[in-house]
Structure 1
Amino acid sequence: MTLLSSTIDCIVFDLGRVLIDLDFELAFEYWATASGQELTEIRSRFALDDAYCAQERGEIEASDYFSHLRKTLGLDLSDEEFLFGWNSIFLEPVSGIEPLLNELKPLKPLHVFSNTNAAHQEFWSQRYADLLAPFQQIVCSHELGARKPGVEAFLQLAGQLSSSPGRMLFFDDLPENVDGARSAGLQAHCVRSAGEIRRILAADYLLPIDGLNP
């Protein structure tokens, strides 16, 4: 029988590029086509700026963010057109992640912690309902009021999951988020594939290896 280490109470996954592949270029391409503007100009003007972070903390609504994009990108698009492009960034689940989640579900509670916004959550929670079914809780930055990589965000996450930070295993694709998680006391790893997650589990957390092979 496969067992996961008693040093962890739960496993937390980032969403984008850990569970689901993303491509922001698809949003730029849609907005360029819809507006008749140059793709290169839109790409160069887009930034993960203060307004982007504010919507991910739930401080502004989607309509406010789209108004900001009209100004910064120089696009005359409706909220609906911005939203369609905004949601087009979501691709297929990361290869191999679905069977891994199904294998892990009986072993430890699984959770998601994502920097996201309300508009995106409404979209991906429906599109990927089957993929997300193994998770007990999905914690979103716009509901928490705090974003990764802030230490406070991870401490709030631990409180919401009723877990000690040191007993949480966290996987993210961005080094800065992993650093933030570690600063908050979590056991955190930077990963870019389901295979990497399997290898980390096999090396450090599986007792003994039976069903989950690296």
Structure 2
Amino acid sequence: MLYIFDLGNVIVNIDFNRVMGAWSDFTRVPLATIKQKFTMGEAFHQHERGEISDEVFAEKLCLEMDLPLSYEQFSHGWQAIFVALRPEVIEIMHKLREQGHRVVVLSNTNRLHTTFWPDEYPEVRQAADHIYLSQEMGMRKPEARIYQKVLELEGYAAADAVFFDDNADNIEGADQLGITTILVTDKETIPHYFAKQLC
């Protein structure tokens, strides 16, 4: 089987409130105001597909939110999203590989984040056979083509793949292709799913 794991809130806990909190501290703009203005719009999607640079993304987002942040301040806040590794998921990934399954990560991410998490959490790369990143592939979830590309590169049919993600849209995109999908709602979702398989 091919097991496909998302990264954020699946393998690593993330929290966008930490990002906005850091930006609020730098600018003295109230957190509630930043939350109201923060959207994952077109610039966000372009950045995740690698279509725009980190600098252009920062500039566009600061403009959208009317935040007077330097690029360094923006970056510092942007990296604050990462909270902690989920060791129980890393353990499951290792067990799956020991059993002969293929284990990959498929993440909507961006260059700015990849300057941080691979060094901060080397366990992710150690637990996966391959890591597929949206900005390197030029496509992002829930676009059908990104799932199709992973299946093609891995040599698996959709019926032989299981996908874990915390985003309902991403789950639906994979589900429509016939991939078995599991919506990760909390830290217990994945351990519960594998409780019987790995006994």
Please give the TM-score of this superposition, normalised by the length of structure 1: 0.86
Partner of 2:52: 60
Partners of 2:170 and 2:140 in 1: CA distance: 9
The higher radius of gyration belongs to 1
Which one of the candidate residues 117, 122, 132 is aligned to 1:124?
Answer: 117
Partners of 1:200 and 1:99 in 2: CA distance: 14
Residue 13 of structure 2 aligns with an amino acid whose one-letter code is: D
Partner of 1:160: 153
Whether the 8 Å contact between 2:164 and 2:182 is mirrored in structure 1 is yes
Whether the 8 Å contact between 2:90 and 2:127 is mirrored in structure 1 is no
Measure how far apart 1:179 and its partner are.
1.1
The number of equivalent residue pairs is: 198
Question: What fraction of aligned residue pairs are identical, expressed as a percent?
Answer: 28
Partners of 2:108 and 2:51 in 1: CA distance: 13
1:189 aligns with 2:182: yes
Partner of 1:15: 7
Cα gap change, 1:29/1:198 in structure 2, threshold over 3 Å: closer, same or farther?
closer
The gaps in structure 1 that reach 5 residues or longer are 1-7, 207-211
Runs of at least 4 residues of structure 1 off by over 4 A?
none
Partner of 1:41: 33
Please give the TM-score of this superposition, normalised by the length of structure 2: 0.92
- Of stretches 68-77 and 91-100 in structure 1, the one that deviates more from structure 2 is 91-100
- Cα RMSD after superposing both structures: 1.6
1:103 aligns with 2:102: no
Which one of the candidate residues 62, 77, 81 is aligned to 1:70?
Answer: 62
The gaps in structure 2 that reach 5 residues or longer are none
Measure how far apart 1:83 and its partner are.
0.5
Partner of 1:50: 42
Partners of 1:143 and 1:161 in 2: CA distance: 16
Partner of 2:24: 32
1:138 aligns with 2:168: no
Measure how far apart 1:131 and its partner are.
3.4
1:170 aligns with 2:174: no
Cα gap change, 1:12/1:33 in structure 2, threshold over 3 Å: closer, same or farther?
same
